[in-house]
Amino acid sequence: QVQLVESGGGLVQPGGSLRLSCVSSGSISVYIMGWYRQAPGKQRELVAVLSSGGLTNHVESAKSRFTITRDDAEKTVWLQMNSPKPEDTAVYYCNARGAQDCWGRGTQVTVSS
């Protein structure tokens, strides 16, 4: 099992950009890495996932705006958020899915002018 630590959240204006990072305590090469988010009063939802083989999936609302990337050698996953909207405001969680399901503690993203 790996420990995941997210960073990079904060306050961003609509139309701006933000990059979230997730650093793992161990190798991520066997995991499907993903970003999820949970807004107040809502269920946690998938934002984007990326396998080590390059297969990716994004939530429809973020497909053209958010990009997930990974560097297995650096044990790091990123989420580049371009043109965020107020409805993207949430706590963003990093996830490593394999034989075990590992979660970070999350980082708050607030999109507001």
| Residue range 79-100, pLDDT digits in tens | 999 999 999 999 999 999 998 8
Question: Residues 2-28: what's their mean pLDDT?
Answer: 97
Contact 97, 34 (CB under 8 A): yes
Question: Residues 64-89: what's their mean pLDDT?
Answer: 96
pLDDT level of residue 110 (50, 70, 90 thresholds): very high
CA dist 20 and 67 (Å) reads 10
pLDDT level of residue 29 (50, 70, 90 thresholds): very high
Q: Is the pLDDT of residue 108 over 90?
A: yes
Q: Is the pLDDT of residue 7 over 90?
A: yes
Query: Phi-psi region for residue 8, left (φ > 0), alpha (ψ -120 to 50) or beta?
Result: left
Per-residue confidence (pLDDT) for residue 49, from 0 to 100:
96
Within 8 A by CB and 6+ apart from 75, the residues are 23, 24, 25, 26, 27, 28
Torsion sign (Cα): 51, 56, 60, 64: positive
pLDDT level of residue 70 (50, 70, 90 thresholds): very high
Closest of 9, 68, 2, 75 to residue 35, by C-alpha = 68
Question: Residues 51-80: what's their mean pLDDT?
Answer: 91
CA dist 55 and 46 (Å) reads 15
CA dist 91 and 77 (Å) reads 16
CA dist 110 and 53 (Å) reads 32
